[in-house]
Structure 1
């Protein structure tokens, strides 16, 4: 949706419009970067937890098979389902938190895309001094970088489990 030059002449934008766009760019870019950081932490935490759990189960079965006699083996069989159920509950809540973070990031990234679109149009059609134009360009580039960071994080293949 392009801005109609007849409806909005080049000098119809005020300094307040520019400041509002800049503040929205800053706000949404910062929120998106913070959520991306949380998503990254949660993904890594779940992946490391899964690897540690797999290692523990492997070692447990190795010890169980080679070194434990039959009386202790029957008692030890109770531990396996308890550990497995605890881990599954732990992973379920971790995935729920990750899903919520991804949904929030998607909402904020959509808003940021719209603000970037408006800011790009504003940058083309506004008559302002060099410093204000530079500030708008820098904020716009920061917001685009935050959006690219989000896209890279979502498309990253971290074992593609989470």
Structure 2
């Protein structure tokens, strides 16, 4: 009987540790996402860039791939100095997959922006972020990719139909 209890505990404990580790990683990622969203709303490129690795790869919707922190910083500074402003931004983590020193986060986003001649533009979609665990235990973004759930071609077709 004791043997069965010991074996059961040994089999259950790795599952418990994995679940605990996963919930800790999710909490750490959600904390970093909050810092990121606040920096985005405040046009704080410096804070946003502190969350990326130097060799980051970014795969944005409707744009070419961006490689390296300097290229990403340049693009972010252009956005910061433009008339486009993010007024709300929300990231919702749906899944976290630990893989050694990398953690894959999958989630959904919602955002609202304003720009020249556009009082409010809303977007929502999904994203994948690959976080890399640093030597000090902190996480930084190694790879990111996102795309919208909204179909701009459908919206253009609808507006063309309304004009006729």
TM-score class normalised by the smaller sequence: 0.3 to 0.5
Point out the structure with max Rg over C-alpha: 1
Select the structure that is richer in helix.
Answer: 1
What TM-score, normalized to structure 1? 0.33
What TM-score, normalized to structure 2? 0.33
Task: Specify which structure has the bigger relative contact order, considering alpha-carbon pairs within 8 angstroms and separated by 6 or more residues.
Answer: 1
